[in-house]
Structure 1
């Protein structure tokens, strides 16, 4: 079981980090292939994109810390200082969720009638994806990608609390 859990944590932290790196290259390719989107000129793109990247790095660090502790100490419980860090990051992420729409408003004011709607739409999609990632990490597990998770979903007919959310309840004790 330990090896299976170790493999799962490794898959999760490396997957989150890989996604963060790949999204950088994808954004560069999209900006180059579709200059009419004006992605790199949109404040809303940068606010949404950087927020998403920040969340992916957080997710990678969270799973890495669990993996490292399991490997070194044979414990799958998240270290308390890591949970405390994420409790503070949760607040910072909420601030970013609230502030990002102001970047969209700034784009509306700056671009006026020449607003690149397709670029703005893509920025909005990235923002919504980031908000879903935040929910997935800090509140409710939205990703069900293994047999155990799918079985839980089928059996209980409800979504699980996220792993990090369960860790937060340990802080309160």
Structure 2
């Protein structure tokens, strides 16, 4: 891939994730302000908790792609420095702890038939998929060529961040 194409792709990845973080928060607040029915789903502590977890994971993705974008602009195609990878290793551990707590909350909501349980489940699955996408296997494909590449490969490929964390 040409350097210019890589730079553009990385820029698109980090700005896209950052845009999603901002827009999700804006929409969350707008729904609370505009729709009375939304408070039951969006204003509970459990919903706010899982939303913050999701946003935290998305911010990590944006930060990772930003760091890679800066590297490639300097013509550095290596892994991230050890110090930065230690941060991502710490983020990964935090994510697991938060997702485990969220799973306990979800189980409680399912047993108690909480009104926001399906909303919580949706956000939990969204956060879990994003966590897996960043820290384990690549689940997102942006272009037709990437989809074709996925079809031709056997099984899922490790994510870029997962490969870098394994090498350190």
CA 1:6–1:97 in structure 2 vs 1: closer, same or farther (change >3 Å)? same
Q: Is the 8 A contact 1:62 1:82 kept in 2?
A: no
Decide which of 115, 118, 123 is 2:120's aligned counterpart: 123
Query: Once the 2 structures are TM-superposed, how far is the Cα of residue 108 of structure 1 from its aligned partner?
Result: 7.6
| Structure 2 stretches lacking a partner, 5+ long | none
Decide which of 51, 54, 58 is 1:52's aligned counterpart: 54
Query: Once the 2 structures are TM-superposed, how far is the Cα of residue 36 of structure 1 from its aligned partner?
Result: 2.3
1:2 aligns with 3
Query: Once the 2 structures are TM-superposed, how far is the Cα of residue 122 of structure 1 from its aligned partner?
Result: 1.4
RMSD over aligned CA atoms reads 2.1
Q: Distance in 1 between matches of 2:165 and 2:52?
A: 25
CA 1:107–1:48 in structure 2 vs 1: closer, same or farther (change >3 Å)? same
2:31 aligns with 30
Q: Is the 8 A contact 2:110 2:117 kept in 1?
A: no
Q: Distance in 1 between matches of 2:63 and 2:49?
A: 21
TM-score, normalised via structure 1 length: 0.85
Q: Distance in 2 between matches of 1:67 and 1:143?
A: 18
Query: Does residue 19 in structure 1 map to residue 16 in structure 2?
Result: no
Query: Does residue 155 in structure 1 map to residue 156 in structure 2?
Result: no
Q: Is the 8 A contact 1:138 1:164 kept in 2?
A: yes
Q: Is the 8 A contact 2:133 2:139 kept in 1?
A: yes
